[in-house]
Chain A
Amino acid sequence: MKAAPASNLLARGGRFIAELPGAPMALIERVIGTGRMAYVFLLPNILFFGMFVFLPIGIDIYYSFTGGTALFPSQRPGVGTLQYHYLASCKSFYDPSSCREDYFWRGMWTSLKFTCIQVSVMVLVSLATALVLNMKIRARGFFRAVYFFPVLLSPVVVALVWKWILQPQGLLNAVIVGMGGHRILFLADAGWAMFWAVFVSVWAHTGFYTLILLAGLQAIPRDIYEAAEMDGTRPLRQLLRLTLPLLWPNLLVVLVLVTIRGVQTFDEVFALTGGGPGTATMMIVQYIYTTAFASQVPDYGLAAAASVLLGLLLLVLTLAQLWLTRRRGAA
């Protein structure tokens, strides 16, 4: 008996709150017209984006045309394109040691190498994992959770855990020595350090991309496979002719996300290898950070110019993705 009036009251209260913005919205609509209402709804997001994305981009571009060590824009003298000139001063772009800013080009090439290897491995591993987890296997829910678990960890935690495993007196070396082998300096050898940087990155993020691909796999109608089976199509042919083409939109998303993340990689690798040995795993973002914040003479202008160039590279990658998506859509 008592519950009914209370729920009525609650419903009425909810309705009142829901209708509260109705009157001012109606007034705005009358003033600016229905056609322009979309902009009113977009305004909060545009303001947020403007403040935290577009304004910093503008400041970054401005800094790239200034010099000196002062932090505030008003105290920084304009130097034109000098910072870009410094970055581009190379006898050969393929040989970073011939460049004035050799660390920039080393970072670029290392990022490129890391991204190429990481993207290939990440996509293949994620795809294989998603295909297996999409099958009716025992303890499927448990395995899905296990593969996703590393995604929940902070990148620094991931790096520190693996650093403990890989250090000279770490777990992996203990196993190797225990089996009669020789201790390996995993993080002090350029080849090994790059291998582990890619491995740890794939280990930490493969769960996320597996999830995207798994969702794509589950969206493929079962009856297509049933029809294929009735036609006697072999599993490998099903994968190549049915699954992969139908999964293409999801694969494309994964490909783009992994590529952009690969180029932006910093935290995990920095905590794991510190960019070493030498500069073997120093990515472009680490160069930007070090130039601006970790050297005795902070060169904000040079770091800003490098980040503008990195931004342009990411823009090209994103545009390529849009072009690919539209081309595929049109086909």
Chain B
Amino acid sequence: MKSQVKSCLVGAAFIAAMAGTSALAQAATTLHVMWYSDGNEGQVIAAQIKDFEAKNPSIKVVLDQVPYKSIQTALPVQLAAGQGPDIARVTDLGGLAKYMLDLRPLVPDAAQWDANYGPFLNWMRLPGDTTSIHGYMTQLTITGPFVNKTLFEQAKVAMPGPKATWPQWAAAIKTVAAAEKVPYPIAADRSGHRVFGMILSQGAKVFDAKGNPAVVDAGFKAGAKMIYDWHQQGLMSKALWGAVSGATYQGANTQFANGQVVMYESGSWQIAQFAKTVGTAFDWVAVPTPCGPANCSGMPGGAAVVGFKSTKHPKSVAKLLDYLASPAVISAYYGKTLSVPGNLGVAKAGVHYEGASPAAAAALKVFGDEVSTLAPVAYQLQGYSKNKIIFDAVISRLCEAIVGQSTLDQAYARITSDIANQIAAANGK
């Protein structure tokens, strides 16, 4: 009996070893994909990659799922050392452009890419480059606020309407927070996109006539002061932005999902997450970006999947990206991840959002409608390849003023000098 068991085990081990060897022999190329998720994107892309592998047995794809922080800090160093993955999902599109692989000569139908991803391809290009195709958008993101509607109902306060201003919202939120004893009346992610999502409406122009950064102007100061004042008044808690230093990202999604926030300035990528984490605990809605004297604009942005020059398998990279970016596959991806489409053809045809709750479907419509209200400067800032320098300087210095380490005027002076120094450093000093 014992010898039978032993024989079976040896046989099984032999078969497993043979299977492994044959799989290895078949998969001549292995691609590494570095991926972060806000919601269920990792699961969806893993399934799509499996489909690709089934159709292309000679290519094996290893999906390395990492925290967003790794994409921000570890990936740039890996790429600088020439040790990066073959493909990654990134948000610093302009900053990483110098490492990206041009897919144009490698994809069978570049015209399809131009037609569907045309406006966004420019976000991934270096200044002066007008032709490269570096990747496709996994989502177009728009910053904007989510509101805990239940808190408004419990406090018996009417929610401001679609064209309400930031001060009108702030006044209403203050009443709700006081009535319901909410620790975070207004919360916003500690991120440059979110800050400019609030500041642009105050008339910030960000660039001079030649297109060079000229961040600190009257509009910017008005927006920065609004955020500063909210912190001093307790409308925004220092526990979120004040609790870290530099340009460190800090989200407030957990606090919102726990019902501790009245208005959460974040963006469209949170929809899938809130549909799952909030569920039916309370009613949540996405509302249009409140208005300022200049406009009612949020900030566009997005995540893209790009290939890198350092890959040893550029043709396989192009093959995988061409498959994932194809209309049928990307449309399914947008539908399953509840993402605002970053593919013009798919957006025009409409996305079928699978299993989207009424709240998620309504939020997707709000963010979809927001595209038409975006100010031109918002697109200009998103398309500027060194925009993260601006974002990081603003976040770092504004926070120092908020926690009392400097005055707002000192912060403005530092923002200007930080941006100038960093751009000089980026240009080789």
Check if A and B associate.
yes
Stretch at the interface among A12-20, A45-53, A62-70, A231-239: A62-70
Would you give the 0/1 interface string for B65-98, flagging 1 where the beta carbon is closer than 8 Å to chain A?
0000000110011001100000000001001000
B234-268 contacts to A (CB < 8 Å): 237-239, 242-248, 250, 260
Given contacts A68-B428, A68-B429, contact A296 B392 (CB under 8 A): yes
Majority SS of interface residues in chain A? loop
| Beta-carbon contact of B248 and A69 below 8 Å | no
| Beta-carbon contact of B245 and A279 below 8 Å | yes
Given contacts A188-B239, A188-B403, A293-B73, contact A71 B244 (CB under 8 A): no
| Beta-carbon contact of B243 and A278 below 8 Å | no
| Beta-carbon contact of B246 and A282 below 8 Å | yes
Interface flag for A150 (CB, 8 Å): no
| Beta-carbon contact of B238 and A277 below 8 Å | yes
Interface flag for A210 (CB, 8 Å): no
| Beta-carbon contact of A276 and B244 below 8 Å | yes
Nearest CB in chain A: distance from B396 CB, A: 9
| Beta-carbon contact of A188 and B429 below 8 Å | no
- Among residues of A, the one whose C-beta sits closest to the C-beta of B387 is A296
A166-196 contacts to B (CB < 8 Å): 167-169, 183, 185, 187-190
Given contacts A275-B246, A277-B243, contact A298 B400 (CB under 8 A): no
- Among residues of A, the one whose C-beta sits closest to the C-beta of B389 is A296
| Beta-carbon contact of B405 and A297 below 8 Å | no
| Beta-carbon contact of B242 and A67 below 8 Å | no
Interface flag for B193 (CB, 8 Å): no
Given contacts A185-B237, A185-B238, contact A293 B406 (CB under 8 A): no
Given contacts A97-B410, A168-B239, A279-B400, contact A298 B80 (CB under 8 A): yes
Interface flag for B42 (CB, 8 Å): no
Nearest CB in chain A: distance from B240 CB, A: 8
Q: Which residues of A contact B414 (CB under 8 A)?
A: 102
- Among residues of B, the one whose C-beta sits closest to the C-beta of A185 is B239
Interface flag for A9 (CB, 8 Å): no
Q: Which residues of B contact A77 (CB under 8 A)?
A: 428
Q: Which residues of B contact A297 (CB under 8 A)?
A: 389, 422, 425-426
Would you give the 0/1 interface string for A231-256, flagging 1 where the beta carbon is closer than 8 Å to chain B?
00000000000000000000000000
Given contacts A297-B425, A298-B80, contact A279 B405 (CB under 8 A): yes
| Beta-carbon contact of B403 and A69 below 8 Å | no
B50-67 contacts to A (CB < 8 Å): none
Given contacts A168-B237, A293-B73, contact A278 B405 (CB under 8 A): yes
Q: Which residues of B contact A185 (CB under 8 A)?
A: 237-239, 242-243
Interface flag for B183 (CB, 8 Å): yes
Nearest CB in chain A: distance from B327 CB, A: 33
Given contacts A294-B246, A296-B389, A298-B77, contact A278 B403 (CB under 8 A): yes
Given contacts A190-B405, A296-B92, A297-B422, contact A82 B242 (CB under 8 A): no
| Beta-carbon contact of A293 and B429 below 8 Å | no
Interface flag for A273 (CB, 8 Å): yes
Q: Categorize the interface residue count of chain A.
A: 35 or more
- Among residues of B, the one whose C-beta sits closest to the C-beta of A77 is B428
Q: Which residues of A contact B309 (CB under 8 A)?
A: none
Interface flag for B205 (CB, 8 Å): no
Interface flag for B188 (CB, 8 Å): no
| Beta-carbon contact of A296 and B400 below 8 Å | no
Interface flag for B388 (CB, 8 Å): yes
Q: Which of A72, A79, A102, A188 contacts B242 (CB 8 A)?
A: A188
A67-98 contacts to B (CB < 8 Å): 67-72, 77, 79, 82, 97
Q: Which residues of A contact B428 (CB under 8 A)?
A: 67-69, 77
| Beta-carbon contact of B183 and A169 below 8 Å | yes
Given contacts A69-B426, A79-B429, A190-B405, contact A296 B81 (CB under 8 A): no
Q: Which of B248, B406, B410, B421 contacts A274 (CB 8 A)?
A: B248
| Beta-carbon contact of A296 and B403 below 8 Å | no
B169-187 contacts to A (CB < 8 Å): 183
Q: Which of B81, B183, B245, B429 contacts A168 (CB 8 A)?
A: B183
Bound-state Cα–Cα, A167 to B260, Å: 14
Bound-state Cα–Cα, A279 to B250, Å: 15
Nearest CB in chain A: distance from B92 CB, A: 7
Q: Which residues of A contact B406 (CB under 8 A)?
A: 97, 278
Interface flag for A299 (CB, 8 Å): yes
A255-311 contacts to B (CB < 8 Å): 273-282, 286, 290, 293-299
Interface flag for B399 (CB, 8 Å): yes
Nearest CB in chain A: distance from B246 CB, A: 6
Bound-state Cα–Cα, A183 to B239, Å: 11
- Among residues of B, the one whose C-beta sits closest to the C-beta of A290 is B246
Q: Which residues of A contact B260 (CB under 8 A)?
A: 169
Nearest CB in chain A: distance from B90 CB, A: 12
| Beta-carbon contact of A190 and B389 below 8 Å | no
Q: Which residues of A contact B92 (CB under 8 A)?
A: 296
Nearest CB in chain A: distance from B146 CB, A: 20
Q: Which residues of B contact A183 (CB under 8 A)?
A: 183
Given contacts A276-B245, A295-B247, contact A190 B80 (CB under 8 A): no
Nearest CB in chain A: distance from B261 CB, A: 12
Bound-state Cα–Cα, A70 to B81, Å: 9
Interface flag for B194 (CB, 8 Å): no
Interface flag for B336 (CB, 8 Å): no
| Beta-carbon contact of A299 and B425 below 8 Å | yes
Nearest CB in chain B: distance from A312 CB, A: 24
| Beta-carbon contact of B243 and A296 below 8 Å | no
Q: Which residues of A contact B403 (CB under 8 A)?
A: 188, 190, 276-278, 280
Interface flag for B386 (CB, 8 Å): yes
Interface flag for B404 (CB, 8 Å): yes
Q: Which residues of A contact B404 (CB under 8 A)?
A: 190, 278
Central interface residue in B242, B260, B392, by most chain A CB within 10 Å:
B242
Q: Which residues of A contact B95 (CB under 8 A)?
A: 296
Nearest CB in chain B: distance from A177 CB, A: 11
| Beta-carbon contact of A278 and B429 below 8 Å | no
- Among residues of B, the one whose C-beta sits closest to the C-beta of A70 is B80
| Beta-carbon contact of B426 and A274 below 8 Å | no
With A278-B402, A286-B245 given, name 4 new contacts (CB 8 A).
A69-B428, A71-B77, A277-B243, A294-B73
Q: Which residues of A contact B (CB under 8 A)?
A: 67-72, 77, 79, 82, 97, 100, 102, 167-169, 183, 185, 187-190, 273-282, 286, 290, 293-299
Q: Write 20 A-B pairs (CB below 8 A) sorted by A numbering.
A: A67-B425, A67-B429, A69-B80, A71-B80, A72-B81, A102-B414, A167-B239, A168-B183, A168-B237, A274-B246, A274-B250, A276-B243, A277-B238, A278-B245, A278-B405, A296-B388, A296-B392, A296-B422, A296-B426, A297-B422
